[in-house]
């Protein structure tokens, strides 16, 4: 039988082929340009219809988050619309950490990725469709080092300034699927939650903070190898023009409520992180965040509060991270939303695991929770 062929020279592609033998291949993930991070992969296999593929991604003990591989099943699609899961197993002792993917495609093309990809073409579709909606205005916030626009969508007439931004870490594609769900709510004239939120709030939405890393197939950094979520204290035009542009725009509007949308490699559930440890912390300010978290927890089984990150000790918050910086700088109710790559073991969905569809549904619940949060606030 012929050897399979593997390609990744397309939007957000990432893999290096070490060898192929029939329907087997030995692979490794390329590091982000000018950085040590490696975890995102996205590639296409051709010539394998009806044959069981055995794809071994090696060297993963050196990946950014080795804890991401146990209990993880790879995302796979044959039509690039529906993303299911291919049974995968991790062996820490084989070839410095190997994820072995087994899958028998029905057709001659199959795409594999760490999570369902969100291409820059799809990003442009999303931004153009939203910008064409009633009551939405488009703002160009700045330009990336690779020359791509940093897109912002604005809507609503209320006094409460809400910033929603996603994909500082480009390999966390969950975040832009979430944005698609959020924009559906906020641009649908028939959606009562969206209508009421637009009456009370002004929204500033950056669906993709890191277009260069997205197109290059990075996990965590921009075109210059900068981790944007460590740049919020002192962003620069040379290293982090994306953060500089967004933070300058925030300075002009002020921020009351902010959500920074991410994915987490190891923890198999959705959760929030707040701003414990900022210098200006007060229990009243913190309680606004905890109240939002309780509302979201009540609204959907796809969110929980038991698992998450350790909270920073008093005065120890890292102000180079956006949630801490935005809470400190503006007194905002700010938070980082994390969604999983794996599936929630308490509420599993065997065909797709955590999926684009669930990212979008969680966005709906996040916005409905925001409305309830504002109601309780008496505003």
Give me the active site residues, please. Answer: 338
Could you tell me the smallest distance in angstroms from the CB atom of residue 159 to Zn ion? 30
Residue 331 CA, chain-centre distance (Å), reads: 25
Using an 8 Å Cβ cutoff, are 192 and 209 in contact? Answer: no
CB-count exposure of residue 95 (10 Å: 0-12, 13-18, 19+)? middle
The DSSP bridge partners found for residue 138 are 153
Residue 218 or residue 285: which is nearer to Zn ion going by CB?
218
Nearer of residues 172 and 256 to Zn ion, judged by Cβ: 172
* Residue closer to Zn ion (CB basis): 202 or 318: 318
Q: How many CA atoms lie within 13 A of 198 on its CB side?
A: 23
- Minimum CB separation of residue 185 from Zn ion in Å reads 23
Helix 322-330 with 241-253: angle, nearest 10 deg? 30
- Report the nearest approach of Zn ion to the CB of residue 65 (Å): 10
Provide long-range contacts, Cβ within 8 A and 24+ apart, for 220-223.
220/32, 220/35, 220/37, 220/39, 220/64, 220/169, 220/170, 220/171, 221/32, 221/33, 221/34, 221/35, 221/37, 221/170, 222/144, 222/145, 222/170, 223/33, 223/144, 223/145, 223/146
Distance of closest approach, residue 24 Cβ to Zn ion, in angstroms? 33
Token pair 């965040």 in the structure block, residue: 289
In a 13 Å sphere around the CA of 185, the CA atoms on its Cβ side amount to 24
Q: What is the DSSP letter of 14?
A: B
Which residue number, 204 or 262, has a Cβ lying nearer to Zn ion?
A: 262
Residues that bind Zn ion (CB under 5 A): 169, 172, 262
In the complex, minimum distance from the CB of residue 133 to Zn ion, in angstroms, rounded to a whole number: 28
Output 39 or 58, the one with its CB closest to Zn ion.
Answer: 39
């Amino acid at each position: 039988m012929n050897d399979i062929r593997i390609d990744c020279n397309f939007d957000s592609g990432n893999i290096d082929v070490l060898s192929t033998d029939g329907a087997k291949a030995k692979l490794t993930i390329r590091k982000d340009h000018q950085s040590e991070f490696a975890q995102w992969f996205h590639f296409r296999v051709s010539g394998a219809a009806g044959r069981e593929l055995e794809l071994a991604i090696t060297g993963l003990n050196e990946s950014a988050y080795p804890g991401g591989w146990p209990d993880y099943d790879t995302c796979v699609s044959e039509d690039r619309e529906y993303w299911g899961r291919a049974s995968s197993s991790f062996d820490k002792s084989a070839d410095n950490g190997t994820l072995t993917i087994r899958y028998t495609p029905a057709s001659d093309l199959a795409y594999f990725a760490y999570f369902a990809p969100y291409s820059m073409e799809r990003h442009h579709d999303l931004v153009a469709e939203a910008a064409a909606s009633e009551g939405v205005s488009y703002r160009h916030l700045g330009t990336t080092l690779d020359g791509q626009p940093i897109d912002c969508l604005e809507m609503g007439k209320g006094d409460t300034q809400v910033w929603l931004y996603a994909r500082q870490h480009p390999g966390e594609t969950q975040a832009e699927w979430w944005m698609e769900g959020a924009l559906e709510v906020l641009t649908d004239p028939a959606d009562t939650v969206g209508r009421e939120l637009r009456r009370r709030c002004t929204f500033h939405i950056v669906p993709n903070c890191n277009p260069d890393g997205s197109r290059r197939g990075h996990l965590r950094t921009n075109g210059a190898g900068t981790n944007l979520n460590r740049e919020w204290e002192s962003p620069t035009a040379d290293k982090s023009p994306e953060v500089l542009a967004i933070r300058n725009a925030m300075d002009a509007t002020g921020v009351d409520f902010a959500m920074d949308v991410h994915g987490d490699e190891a923890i198999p559930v959705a959760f929030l992180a707040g701003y414990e440890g900022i210098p200006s912390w007060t229990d009243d300010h913190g309680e606004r965040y905890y109240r939002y978290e309780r509302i979201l927890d009540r609204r959907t089984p796809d969110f929980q509060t038991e698992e998450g990150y350790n909270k920073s000790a008093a005065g120890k918050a890292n102000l180079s991270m956006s949630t801490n910086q935005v809470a400190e700088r503006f007194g905002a109710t700010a938070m980082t939303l994390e969604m999983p790559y794996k599936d929630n073991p308490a509420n599993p969905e065997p065909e797709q695991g955590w999926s684009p569809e669930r990212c979008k549904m969680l966005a709906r619940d996040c916005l409905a929770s925001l409305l309830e949060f504002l109601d309780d606030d008496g505003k």
